[in-house]
Structure 1
Amino acid sequence: MPFVDLETNLPASRFSEDFLKKLASTTAAALGKPVDRMVVLVKPDLPLFIFGSSAPCVVLSVAGIGVTDTAEKNRDNSATIFPFLTKELGLSEDRIVIRFSPLEPWQVGKNGTVVTFL
């Protein structure tokens, strides 16, 4: 169950349900997970300053069990996710940052327990 959080200073009007579905399917494909296991959250209209500027930008956080735990996996994940974000949001790669975080099964709660016991 990967978690994808997109934080941005872009306006909420840029993020339709169609965008959410595309983000879920793109990241699911990159991570090798089914789209029905993705948790996607978009936080628009934030005061955000990266790389010396508050020009339009995105910080994408991707966390998951077994999908973000090596440099090689995250290099491949980046190679899929960056082109999607640049195309869909009209941003250059230097205005996007992706933060990958590995999770352990005991760190994710679901159905009244944690993934370890599911």
Structure 2
Amino acid sequence: MPVFTLSTNVPSSKISDAFISELSSKLADLLHKPESYVAVHVIGDQKLSFGGDGKSPAGSALLKSIGSVGTSKQNNDIAKVLHPLIEKNLGIKQDRLYIEFVNLAASAVSHNGQTFG
């Protein structure tokens, strides 16, 4: 049930469906989860300042998952893939993007009428 949410000041018109599809596929691979459970939400046109600069591309992301995140190794392995992918597609330099990782209990997330645990 990974959910990846990225808020950015990049215009929505520059956020392609191909990028969202690539991000979804990459997350499924990185987290060892079926892509049918992966949700990706990219929110453009946000008023966002990073380091006092609200003009240059920047972002703030949140990756929630039941397992597969949380340890330093897991989070760093994911970050090494996501940061360059986002920079390539949206022009957000790696030092202008935070990604927060949240490991959720299976009982804290429902889908299709019931929790995962």
TM-score of the pair, normalised by structure 1: 0.91
Counterpart of 2:31 in structure 1 is: 31
Identity, % of aligned positions: 33
The secondary structure found in structure 1 opposite 2:5 is strand
Q: Is 1:111 aligned to residue 112 of structure 2?
A: yes
Shift of 1:71: 1.2
Bigger drift between 27-36 and 78-87 goes to 27-36
Counterpart of 1:2 in structure 2 is: 2
TM-score of the pair, normalised by structure 2: 0.92
Instruction: Return the alpha-carbon distance in structure 2 between the equivalents of residues 66 and 47 of structure 1.
Output: 32
Counterpart of 1:73 in structure 2 is: 74
Instruction: Return the alpha-carbon distance in structure 2 between the equivalents of residues 10 and 100 of structure 1.
Output: 22
Unaligned 5+ segments in structure 1 are none
Bigger drift between 85-94 and 96-105 goes to 85-94
Shift of 1:85: 0.8
Instruction: Return the alpha-carbon distance in structure 2 between the equivalents of residues 50 and 27 of structure 1.
Output: 25
Say whether the 8 Å CA contact 1:4–1:60 is kept in structure 2: yes
Say whether the 8 Å CA contact 1:26–1:84 is kept in structure 2: no
Runs of 4+ in 1 over 4 A off after TM superposition: none
Aligned length: 116
Q: Give, as a single letter, the amino acid of the residue that structure 1 aligns with 2:64.
A: A
Say whether the 8 Å CA contact 1:30–1:81 is kept in structure 2: no
